[in-house]
Amino acid sequence: MIDQLYRKAVLTVAGQKTIENAVRARGWGMAQRFVAGETPQTAIQAVHDLKKDGIMANLDLLGEFIESPAQCTQFADNVITMLDAAHADGITPYVSIKLSSVGQGKTEGSEDLGLTNARRIIRRAKEYGGFVCLDMEDHPRVDQTLTQFRTLVGEFGGQHVGTVLQSYLYRTEKDRASLDDLNPNLRIVKGAYLEPETVAYPQKADVDAAYRRLVYAHMSAGNYVNVATHDESIIHDVQMYALAHGVSKDAFEFQMLYGIRRDLQRNLAAAGYRVRAYIPYGRDWYPYFSRRIAETPRNAMFVIRGMLKG
């Protein structure tokens, strides 16, 4: 309950234009803790740095709720440029995209622009042997995202495209089971958006319990699971579950956000687990940054201290 109230308060305050302007004006230095840089080159450098610790990377060009169809297509072009840059630098690209950024919900010709642009991105990633994960956004987008995911797996194969399920939504366990026929590569997260009680568990204990059930069910069905959390108790339980059920270390991976719990990321990699860091980069860092602050008061203190230092 406290978690929900804290998240609601932070996201409401962060949504105020005056606060946004103040943080944007002085916040880049602080955002750098969570964002790799503003260009593909800075993100690619972060990929190489993490590799030294045995940590894999997931590149994410920031940009949300982009308005015009032309901007959405431009955004998709920028993701493709990043795929080209990564490939040219010897990296097999693994990227995440938000379908809203590439035009989901906007029709061009007779088709959803998000689907058209996602296709272009995945086609290029596949050429390089890469992978594209469709991030999950707020709950009104879930149906369309899952439908488009099914279409894209049909066209490109499950080795090149995955998506995300959020344990805070009541519907998610049914959604997971409904995808089993695809043997999908799924990232399981708790969920980062402010959702009403009509669709999402308000209590953290319920979100955590659903999280464990989802990971265990997906593993037991023989699917690849991306366990995306910084929750040490869940990470421990997943390790125990995998051991007890003979799930090998290459049948799942732990995923964490860039700049968060680097110690834990390194320790897991050193213990032989597959670990991937989600590396956001780009100029549109404010909404991403706000959600990280909303996740824990520790991060809010980090920002307040930074602002006070000037």
Catalytic positions: 135, 187
The verdict on 299 binding ligand FDA (CB under 6 A) reads yes
Which of 250, 97, 248, 68 lies closest to 160 in space, CA to CA? 97
Minimum separation from the CB atom of position 154 to ligand FDA (A): 22
Binding-site member from 28, 231, 237, 251 for ligand FDA (CB under 6 A): 231
Question: Minimal distance in Å, beta carbon 282 to ligand FDA?
Answer: 16
* Beta-carbon contacts of residue 208 (< 8 Å; ≥ 6 apart): 167, 190, 231, 234
Q: Is 114 among the residues that bind ligand FDA (CB under 6 A)?
A: no
Q: Which stretch binds ligand FDA (CB under 6 A): 152-160, 178-186, 281-289, 296-304?
A: 296-304
Q: Can you tell me which of 230, 241, 251, 262 binds ligand FDA, judged by CB under 6 A? A: 230
Least distance in angstroms from the C-beta of 230 to ligand FDA: 3
The amino acid at 44: I
Rg (CA), the chain: 19
Q: Is the dihedral of CA 289, 296, 94, 106 positive or negative?
A: negative
Question: Which residues make Cβ contacts (< 8 Å) with residue 157, sequence separation at least 6?
Answer: 126
**Rounded Cα distance, 304 and 279, in Å:** 24
Helix ranges (DSSP H) in the chain: 2-14, 17-26, 28-31, 40-51, 69-88, 113-127, 142-156, 172-178, 204-220, 232-244, 262-270, 286-295, 297-309
DSSP letter for 200, please. Answer: B
* Residue 164 phi, psi (nearest 5): -130, 140
Of these, 46, 192, 227, 269, which contacts ligand FDA (CB under 6 A)? 192
Give the tokens for residue 69: 């169809």
Binding range to ligand FDA, per CB under 6 A, among 13-21, 23-31, 254-262, 280-288: 254-262
Instruction: Report DSSP state, residue 282.
Output: S
By CB under 6 A, residue 35 contacts ligand FDA: no
228 lines the binding site for ligand FDA (CB under 6 A): yes
x/- contact string, 261-290, with ligand FDA (CB under 6 A)?
-----------------x------------
Helix (H) or strand (E) segment spanning residue 166:
strand 161-166
Stretch that binds ligand FDA, among 21-29, 141-149, 253-261, 282-290 (CB under 6 A): 253-261
| Nearest residue (CB) to ligand FDA, 34 versus 124 | 34
165 neighbors 185 (Cβ within 8 angstroms): no
Residue 40: how many CB atoms within 10 A of its CB? Answer: 22
- Minimum CB–partner distance for residue 246 and ligand FDA (Å): 25
Q: Given candidates 36, 72, 164, 219, which one binds ligand FDA under the rule CB under 6 A?
A: 164
Least distance (Å) between residue 77 CB and ligand FDA: 22
Q: Using CA atoms, how far apart are residues 114 and 126, in angstroms rounded to an integer?
A: 18
Helix (H) or strand (E) holding 41: helix 40-51
For the bound state, the minimum distance from the C-beta of residue 30 to ligand FDA, rounded and expressed in Å, comes to 12
Near ligand FDA by CB under 6 A: residue from 119, 139, 190, 218: 190
Using CB under 6 A, count the residues that bind ligand FDA.
24
- Exposure of 174 by Cβ count < 10 A (0-12 exposed, 13-18 middle, 19+ buried)? exposed
How many other C-beta atoms are found inside a 10 Å radius of the C-beta of residue 22?
A: 12
Stretch near ligand FDA under the rule CB under 6 A, chosen from 82-90, 152-160, 176-184, 292-300: 292-300
Can residue 253 be called a binding residue for ligand FDA (CB under 6 A)? no
Residues that bind ligand FDA (CB under 6 A): 135-136, 164, 166, 187, 189-193, 228-231, 255-257, 260, 278, 292, 295-296, 298-299
